[in-house]
Amino acid sequence: MAITLEDVQKNEKIKVLVEHANKVLEVMGYTDHGPRHVGYVSRKAGEVLENLCKDQRRVELAKITGWVHDVGNMINRKHHGLNGAALLFPILDEMGMDIAEVCEVCSAVGSHEEETGLPISDISAALIIADKVDAHRARVRSKEFLPTDIHDRVNYSIQSTKLTVKEGTIAMDYTMNSGASPMDFLSIYLTRMQMCEKSARFLGCNFALHINGVKLNRWDETDGV
């Protein structure tokens, strides 16, 4: 029987990895990377492939990959994708996942960091897009009314985040308040958005980035704007 997202979520080893990775990042001052974040990424990665009419097993594998993609932070933030892939391989194999599917999940996890990664499959591309779109005030751990760290300040300013896949375009739409500017957003998210562009192209789609209704990238070669 094929391993499902529910099976992975119930696995005790993976539970501990997800929780401990999030605790490590909390100590380091990073935004939430726990069940809220990985749950969001899992859902959105699955939605991307589902909206592109991919096979349901590919959709399920994308959901699984989203849930486990950040466990490598348990070892170190640097190269957490590579570390995560190495940690996950024996666990997923031990669970009885088909070895080809283990490879699919682990290669996607190992390729999702912007410093070293590239989209290498439809699952990988969906993971990258779903992971990078998750900027939102709900991820901020600081209890300060006005966070001073730029990552917290940008995330706290984002009131809504929307990812849509429609008519050959993958679009990210953010609504921000005056707590941070689009320039602030790009100062920390530019390379992530460029990775999303590559991932959208891998999936045969255009990519559109909007903040407060303003398009920030030229996402279609036929678009002269």
Residue 173 corresponds to which tokens in the numbers above? 């739409």
Q: Measure CA of the first residue to CA of the last residue in the chain; give whole Å.
A: 51
Q: pTM for the full model?
A: 0.92
Q: How many beta carbons lie within 10 A of that of residue 41, not counting itself?
A: 29
- Domains in the chain: ranges and CATH: 5-215 (1.10.3210.10)
Counting as low any pLDDT under 50, the low residues of the chain are 222-225
Contact 172, 136 (CB under 8 A): no
* DSSP designation for 120: -
What tens digit of pLDDT does each residue of 144-190 get? 666 678 888 898 899 999 999 998 999 999 999 999 999 999 999 99
**Strands across the sheet containing 158-166:** 158-166, 169-176, 206-211, 214-215
* DSSP designation for 111: T
